[in-house]
Amino acid sequence: MGTPFFTQKNWMLWAAAVISAGLLELPFPLAGPMPPWRSIFAWFGLAPLLWALLSPLTVGGKKPLRTAFLLGYLSGFLWYMGNCYWVRDTMARYGDMPAMAPVLLLMGYSAVLGLYWGVFGWAVVLIRRASGSTRIALATAPVMWTALELVAARFTSVPWDQLGYSQVDNTLVNHLAPWTGVYGISFVLVAVNALIAGGFLLDCRRVHGFSDRQMAGVAGVALMCCGGVGVTIPAARPATSATAVLVQPNLDVGGGSRWNGPGEWEQHMAEFGKLASEKCKGYIAGIPQTGAPTGEISCLPYETHVALIVWPESPAPFMELEPRFRNSLKEIAQQEQAPIVVGNIGVDEPTGVEELRYYNSALIIGADGERVGRYDKIHLVPFGEYVPYANLLTFARKLTGRVSSFDRGTERKVFRLGGHKYGVFICYEAVFADEVRHFAQLGAEVLVNISDDGWYGDTSAPWQHLNMARMRAIENRRWILRDTNSGVTCAIDPNGVVRQSIPRHVVDALPAEFGFREDVTFYTEHGDLFGWGCVLAAAVLAGWAGKKGLRQWVAAKSA
C-alpha cells in the first residue's frame, strides 16, 4: 500500500528539499562580492534534493511523480525567492507599484521559474521508475539539469545564476568554459552531487570489498575536494598593451536627469571631459569590497593617448540626434585624441510617414570626433525596457509606470577603432552566453560591456551580474571592459579575473589596462553545442521512460 502524501516519515523529504535550496544560495553573491571559498557549496548542495527524489519514501510512495515534481518545485521556488530577492527591492523602489505588488511579483517570478526544478525532479524519478535503477537515475541527473538550464535560457529568457556561475573563481574547473560554456560546469557540479547522493542511496552489498554506496560516496567527495581546490590556484596574468578610461558618473537612476537648468549641461559635460582625461591614477587591483590591494598607473613624462573612452548606460539625457550631445562628444574625442563608446538613446531618423524608433544604444565616435556607428541593444529587459504582449497585458504599464518603450536592435556589430576591433553589448545581454559569443566570432578582439546597475542598489544583483560577465570573458578568452553607472566598473581579463576596478557609488574614472586577442575558442565558434546535446539526450531519455511507464501502467490496468 502506498504511503500518504504527508507522514511522520516523509517530512524528511520536504526538509531535504528546503535544505538544498538553502545550501545552493551560498555559492552565489548574497549582498556583496562572494568569497571564493563559498563556491564549495555548489558541489554538494543539490545532494539532499537528489536523495529526497530517489528515496524509497518517494519512489515507493503514493503518486511518486507528483511527489518528485513538488519536491523539486519547492526547492526551486525557495531558491529563486532567495537568489533573486532583489526583484522585490528594485520594483519597490523604482516600479511605482502598490505596496504589496513587488512581493507578489517576486513570488510570481519564483513560481514560474521554480517549475524548471519541478520538471527536473519529475524527470529523475520518471527515469528511476522506467529503469528500475537508482544508479541510472543518478547518472542521468546531470543531463536533465543541464538541458533544463538551456531551455530556461531560451524559453523564458532568464538564465540568471545558472549553477556553473558559482565556479567563476575556480581556475581549474573554468577550463571547461571555452569548450562547453557555463553548461559544462553545471554538468560537472550536478554529476558530483549525484555521486554524493549515491553514497546514501545505492546498494550496500559489497562486491570485491566495496559497495556501490561506498564507491559513489568516496568518488563524489574526492571529486568535490579536487574540483574545489581550483579556487586556490591563481590564474595566469595576461599581458596588457592598451589603456581605456571607463567613466563612472554615478547618476541617480531615480532622479530627474534632464540637465536643463542654467549651465547644467555644460557642467556635466565638463565633468565628463575631466573624467575622460584621467588616464594616470589609482585603482583597486581586484574586486571592490574584498580587501584587494590598490595599484596606480603612473603618468609618463610625455603625453599619452588612451585607446578608448567609455561612458556607460545611464540616466544621462543623451540623445543621438541632439546637436549639443554630438558636439560635446566631438570636442572630448578630439581633445583626448581617443575614440568614445557612449550609452545613449539611439533614434532612427524617420523616412516618410514612419514613426520614430528609439533604441537603448551604444554610440561609437572616432578619435576625430566623427560618428563611426551605433549598436542597438537586441535583448531587452521585459517589464523594464518594454512590456511583452503589451496589447494583452494592458495593466502592466499602470503597475510599472517607469517602464521604457524601446525597439529591439537587429544586428550584432563590431567596430574598428585604432586598428583593433571592439564588440559592445549592453547590460542584461551579459547573461546570454550564446549571444555575447557572436561579437568574438565576428572578430572582436576585446569586448565592452556598458551597464546601469544602479537600479539594483546594494543587493546581490550587481555582484551576480558581474560574475556572469566574468564567465563571458572566460568562454571567449577576451578582455572585457565593464563600465557601469554606479559600479562595478572594472577590467576583466580573459581568465575571468577582475584585474582593476574602482569603488561603487562614487563619481570616478578607471584607467583600465587591457589587451587584444584574435584566437577563437570552441565555444565562440560553435556555441551551446554541449548544452543542445544534453537537451537531445534528455528528450530521448524522457521519451523512452515515458513510453515504458505508459506500458507498465496499461499492463497494471489490464491485470
pLDDT in tens, 225-237: 999 999 999 999 9
pLDDT score of 29 more than 50: yes
Specify the domain boundaries for CATH 3.60.110.10 within the chain. Answer: 244-520
Q: What pLDDT was estimated at residue 262? A: 83
What was the pLDDT predicted at 454?
A: 87
Averaged over 449-459, what is the pLDDT?
Answer: 91
Residue 152 has pLDDT above 60, yes or no: yes
What type of residue sits at position 370? E
Per-residue pLDDT for 102 more than 90?
no
Query: Is residue 320 classed as helix, strand or coil in its secondary structure?
Result: coil
C-alpha cell at 4: 500518504
pLDDT (0 to 100) of residue 145: 98
Over range 170-178, report the average pLDDT: 97
3-state secondary structure 472-494: HHHHHCCCEEEEECCCCCEEECC
Q: What is the pTM of this model?
A: 0.93
Let me know: does 360 contact 313? Beta carbons within 8 Å. Answer: yes
Query: Cell digits for 397?
Result: 504599464
Dump pLDDT digits (tens) for 65-87: 999 999 999 999 999 999 999 98
3-state DSSP call for residue 397?
helix
Region of 432 on the Ramachandran plot (φ > 0 left; ψ -120 to 50 alpha; else beta)? beta
Residue ranges of alpha helices (H) inside 60-211 are: 64-83, 86-94, 101-131, 134-151, 177-180, 182-201
Phi, psi of 364 (to 5 degrees): -110, 125
* Spatial distance between the Cα atoms of 122 and 120, rounded to a whole number of angstroms: 5
For residues 431-441, give the mean pLDDT. 96
d(CA 380, CA 409): 9
- The DSSP bridge pattern shows strands 357-365 and 371-376 to be antiparallel
* Residue pLDDT, tens place only, 318-374: 999 899 999 999 999 999 999 999 999 998 877 766 678 889 999 999 999 999 999
Whole-number pLDDT of residue 18 = 97
According to DSSP, residue 156 is labeled I
Helices 101-131 and 47-54 cross at an angle (nearest 10°) of: 50
Res 389: pLDDT: 47
| Fold classified for 244-520 | Nitrilase/N-carbamoyl-D-aminoacid amidohydrolase (3.60.110)
In this prediction, residue 536 carries a pLDDT of 97
Residues whose CB falls within 8 Å of the CB of residue 459, separated by 6 or more in sequence, listed in order: 31, 85, 86, 89, 90
**d(C-alpha 225, C-alpha 219), whole Å:** 10
CB under 8 Å to 451, separation ≥6 — which residues?
312, 313, 426, 427, 430, 465, 482, 483, 484, 485
Give the Cα separation of 133 and 135 in Å (integer).
5
pLDDT at 503: 96
Q: Are 494 and 475 in contact (CB under 8 A)?
A: no
What single DSSP character describes residue 319? B
Exposure on the CB side of residue 60, measured as CA atoms within 13 A: 8
On average, the pLDDT of the chain sits at 90
Residue 558 has pLDDT above 90, yes or no: no
